[in-house]
Amino acid sequence: MPARRKTNTMETGRKKLQSLMSVPEITEIMINGQTGTFIETAGKKNRSEVKFSDDDIEDCVDAIFRENGKNVSPITPYADICMPDGSRANVIMRPLARFGTSITIRKFFADLHDLDDLIEQGTLSRKMADFLIACVKGKLNIVFSGGTGAGKTTTLEMLSKHIDSDERIITIEDTAELKLHHKNLVSLETRVADDDGKGEVSLQDLIKNSLRMRPDRIIVGEVRGGEALDMIQAMSTGHRGTMGVVHGSSPVEVVSRIETMILSSGIKLPIEDVRKMIVNSIDLVVQQERFPDGVRRITYITEMKGIVNRDIDLHNLFAFIKSGSTADGKIHGEFRPVIKNYPHFYSDFIKAGLLTDNTFKEGGSVVLEKTRP
């Protein structure tokens, strides 16, 4: 039976979407059913003049998801995908989306190639970049945290360029988004159950399998549940240099979330033992935030220092200090190292030539008193 031919009306859906995708200034596209389409430019959301009918939206779902192997149906009414250009798309269908099928696209920044580009955009300072490069080369276990769209994955991708080219990397994601360019790379992606409820492959399944694949590095795209325990166990069983992404608004909240996720796995351990596992496994939290002016900034680089009074002791190593804002909403501030909070690995990194002894100094003098996350 020949495939159903689309009408000209339906063909306009992907054309309308492409008209928005082709505008470099647009960073996000939000199609809210027939009620309207919104776009983000320079960190601000505005209604677009482009309107999508139900047929238009169905055509976009076909073009983005179904034609690229993602099942979207009344049985599986929502899905995520990384588009060929690196943009990330989500769809959720009616009746879950009460006003009509909704499509959200976060566009890929093609002009970002390395950490220098992030420095130019104001994401971090040169000293912070050099410090994080040293931590990647020194095989520290790092968690990247922040809200949706804060730039966590982009920062991770830029730092991955400093992983030794001879290392074998296994990436594990719900939706394959990471764009790494290493010759010995395996990208793993979860799978949802079919319409009969069979065939599901979870993050936990993939992390466990990755340990049998001779990895030098394991990178988990986003940790949201019981797989946190598997990631922590991978970190603590010799897989140094493991990196993961966790949603959280501060390093303190990230630690709390990881504790909760580990406990949700069903492990029967007192909270004190869970905290010891976390401290003994994770070295750094890199906290990132998207500010109202649209700039994505690393607000904290924080070390997990140890256990004090039964709580995890967090030491900020770098922080973004906001000093004010302009009438048009532009944020002013400084990236600064934190006095007295030298990391426990500092002397070893200096001996290895990964860091210099002025990393936590500014212009020859130490700045900024100790702060908490």
Q: Band of the pLDDT at 11, cuts 50, 70, 90?
A: low
Indicate the helix (H) or strand (E) that contains 8. helix 8-21
Q: Band of the pLDDT at 361, cuts 50, 70, 90?
A: low
The per-residue pLDDT for 363 is: 44
Residue 1 has pLDDT above 60, yes or no: no
Query: What would the mean pLDDT of 186-208 be, rounded to a whole number?
Result: 86
Q: Band of the pLDDT at 339, cuts 50, 70, 90?
A: low
Q: Band of the pLDDT at 362, cuts 50, 70, 90?
A: low
The per-residue pLDDT for 34 is: 85
Query: What would the mean pLDDT of 177-205 be, rounded to a whole number?
Result: 86
Q: Which of 147-151, 254-258, 305-309 has the highest mean pLDDT?
A: 254-258
**Gap between the Cα atoms of 220 and 244, Å rounded:** 5
3-state DSSP helix/strand/coil % of the chain, to nearest 5: 30, 25, 45
Question: Mean pLDDT over all residues of the chain?
Answer: 87
**Gap between the Cα atoms of 92 and 101, Å rounded:** 6
The per-residue pLDDT for 334 is: 92
The per-residue pLDDT for 160 is: 94
Residue 219 has pLDDT above 50, yes or no: yes
Tens-digit pLDDT profile for residues 63-82:
998 888 788 888 889 888 88
In 3D space, the residue among 104, 96, 2, 95 whose CA is nearest the CA of residue 57 turns out to be 104
The per-residue pLDDT for 349 is: 92
In 3D space, the residue among 12, 42, 4, 29 whose CA is nearest the CA of residue 294 turns out to be 42
The per-residue pLDDT for 368 is: 38
Q: Which of 78-87, 97-106, 173-182 has the highest mean pLDDT?
A: 97-106
Residue 373 has pLDDT above 50, yes or no: no
Residue 255 has pLDDT above 90, yes or no: yes
pTM of the model: 0.83
Tens-digit pLDDT profile for residues 13-65:
889 999 999 998 898 999 999 899 999 987 788 999 999 999 999 999 999 98
Q: Band of the pLDDT at 293, cuts 50, 70, 90?
A: confident
Q: Band of the pLDDT at 324, cuts 50, 70, 90?
A: confident
Query: What would the mean pLDDT of 199-223 be, rounded to a whole number?
Result: 92
Question: CA 268 → CA 142, 233, 254, distances in Å?
Answer: 25, 15, 21
Domains and CATH numbers, the chain: 9-106 (3.30.450.370), 115-351 (3.40.50.300)
Question: CA 6 → CA 18, 56, 184, distances in Å?
Answer: 17, 11, 42
The per-residue pLDDT for 110 is: 65
Residue 372 has pLDDT above 70, yes or no: no
Residue 2 has pLDDT above 50, yes or no: no
Share of the chain above pLDDT 70, in %: 92
